[in-house]
A and B are shown apart, each in its own frame.
Chain A
Amino acid sequence: MTPIISLSHVTYAYPNSDAPALRDLSLTINKGEWVAIIGHNGSGKSTFAKLLNYLLAPDEGEITVNDVIATEENMWTIRDMVGMVFQNPDNQFVGATVADDVAFGMENRGVPRDEMISRVDAALEEVQMMPFADREPARLSGGQKQRVAIASVLALQPKILILDEATAMLDPTGRREMIALVHELKARMGNDLTVISITHDIDEAASADRVMVINDGELVETGLPAEIFANADQLRRFGLAVPFAEQLKEQLRLRGIDVPNEYLTTEGLVTWLWQSISTK
């Protein structure tokens, strides 16, 4: 496994603030991995995302993206490799229509028009937004706008896709569709795409390869989703939600039912429940 992103002792404080938003952060993310970053509001997750494509520059420490050190000279090289989808679907829609928005990043890079047209079509096809190519943002739903945002990142063929709470403002359907879409992309591109998803959504985090917990600007926990989510007390201490299956397990335990200790998904718990009842 080759690391694609590594941070060593990164500290960042916003101007005019007393406490740093991120403190002495060191971590590595491997090529092709899907990492979920969780943490309560104001824990520094979004700051972390912005550091990764040099929207913010670290005060101390060093960030390396695909062997390129994040410095001002390398800023545009890094932004070519890191694509970002932000939280608010309205505020990141630059173009006047769907196709214009997808083309915006390529316009910035001076891609010739013929190539631009074929890449816009391909990217819209990929997120199933082709019939909407001429639509204006005001006539799209939140979920559709976010799919356009993904398409405009894909058109730039990035190595790393960062979802900075990209599903936070969507309804449950839009959220599920979007996660399914990213899963599909990931399955198709395999190790060529690294996904970093910054989220509050437990289900989204549970589908990652690895979960990192950031609390008050520090990396406090990293591990498989099963390891992180099995520890309900700790999740509560960090101000995070506990998955439904874990909540149910706790309630069952209170009623004297002996449930397994390891993490179970909702489906896993259903399987365990019917097995244990029918064997009684």
Chain B
Amino acid sequence: MFSNMIIGRYMPGDSWIHRLDARTKLVLSIAFIFVVFFANNVIGYALAGAFTLLAIMMTGLGVGVFLRGLRPLVLLMFITTLLQLFFVQTGDVLVHWAFIKITTDGVINSVIVFVRFMLIIMFSTILTLTTQPLAVADGMESLLKPFKKFGLPVSELALMLSIALRFVPTLMDEAQSIMNAQRARGVRFNEGSLMARIKSFVPLLIPLFVNAIKRAIELGDAMEARGYRGGDQRTKYRVLTWHTRDTIAIIGFLIFTVALIATRWMM
């Protein structure tokens, strides 16, 4: 039932972007969200669009995959765009019918919101599609390291994250088999009134929770038996290495940022 989701899914490949360090991709994805807001005219958005398209082409996965990733969010984008269209009341009036008033500013704003939305989603999808979840977790740990000084338990958080990621498919399988088992006993999922639907999920959720707790206890035993005692004296098997291509990617992104800021004065 979750098979259509593209968000958060990793697609194996061996492109230049695939081989980038997870830290680079994480930082750039976050930075992009802020940088996009510098664009305030057509040239700026064209530049941002071109940059995004270039990055997408470099993943070698094809634009279609990314467009499919937009699908679950189409409704949200549509609603936001409409809200902008109807509620921005400044500028020249284009259409005025009963209580509906569409203005030029409204149209411009809604287009801007739509384009920003698309760019940000497409760009962040690059991270999840080309990076193994585990590498994302490693990258986050390494980026959070400075906060250790302020008492943030970074290594514990990283362990929790990597265990959570490792158990996602296991728990999905389990949810599916509990659902089938309950169906065999006559529970109907996704049928009837809202209340009936909500109630039908109780026989799925309770066993799932109970089993998750059992799993946690057993996993805890297994971890202790293998000598886990937390803390900082642990060594790491998996290490991230910084390559020249990461520096190149960062420099490329900086050039893009500067160019984007420059477009603000071009019109």
Contacts and interface: CB of A to CB of B under 8 A. Distances in A.
Interface of A: 50, 53, 55, 76, 79-80, 82-84, 86, 88, 90-97, 99-100, 103-113, 116-117, 120, 136-138, 152-153, 156
Interface in B205-260: 214-215, 218-219, 221-229, 233-239
Given A94-B223, A137-B166, A86 B228 contact: no
Nearest to B133: A96
B227 A94 contact: no
B237 A116 contact: yes
A138 B169 contact: yes
B166 A76 contact: no
Nearest to B215: A91
A108 B162 contact: no
Contact of A137 (B170, B215, B235): B170
Given A91-B222, A113-B239, A108 B170 contact: no
B234 A107 contact: yes
B221 A55 contact: yes
Contacts of B215: 88, 90-91
B235 A55 contact: no
28 contacts: A50-B221, A55-B221, A76-B227, A79-B226, A79-B227, A86-B218, A91-B215, A91-B218, A91-B219, A91-B222, A92-B219, A94-B166, A94-B228, A95-B162, A96-B165, A96-B166, A103-B238, A104-B237, A106-B235, A108-B227, A108-B234, A110-B233, A113-B236, A113-B239, A136-B166, A136-B169, A138-B169, A156-B227
Contacts of A86: 218, 221-222, 225
A99 B163 CA distance: 15
B134 interface: yes
A50 B238 CA distance: 30
Contact of B234 (A53, A110, A136): A110
B135 to A, nearest CB: 10
Closest 3 CB pairs of A and B: A92-B222, A103-B237, A138-B169
B170 A55 contact: no
A195 to B, nearest CB: 16
Contacts of A117: 237
Most buried by B among A53, A55, A105, A108: A108
Contacts of B221: 50, 55, 86, 92
A156 B162 CA distance: 22
Given A84-B225, A108-B227, A109-B227, A92 B218 contact: yes
A104 B137 CA distance: 16
Interface residues on B, range: 20 to 34
Interface string B152-192: 00000000001101100110010000000000000000000
A97 B169 CA distance: 13
Given A50-B221, A113-B237, A136-B166, A97 B229 contact: no
Given A83-B225, A94-B226, 4 more contacts: A92-B221, A94-B228, A112-B235, A156-B226
A97 B166 CA distance: 8
Nearest to A49: B225
Contacts of B134: 96-97, 100
B232 to A, nearest CB: 10
A224 B234 CA distance: 43
Contacts of B229: 76, 108
Contacts of A55: 221, 224-225
A148 B230 CA distance: 22
A79 B221 CA distance: 12
A149 B167 CA distance: 16
A129 B225 CA distance: 22
A129 B238 CA distance: 19
Nearest to B237: A103
Contacts of A112: 235
A83 B224 CA distance: 11
Among A95, A111, A152: residue with most chain B CB under 10 A: A95
Contacts of A79: 224-227
A79 B225 CA distance: 6
A246 B224 CA distance: 41
Contact of B219 (A82, A94, A100): A94
Contacts of A103: 237-238
B28 to A, nearest CB: 24
Given A100-B238, A113-B235, A95 B226 contact: no
A108 B229 CA distance: 7
Given A91-B222, A156-B227, A107 B236 contact: yes
A37 B17 CA distance: 54
Nearest to B173: A138
Given A91-B215, A91-B219, A136-B169, A104 B235 contact: no
A53 B166 contact: no
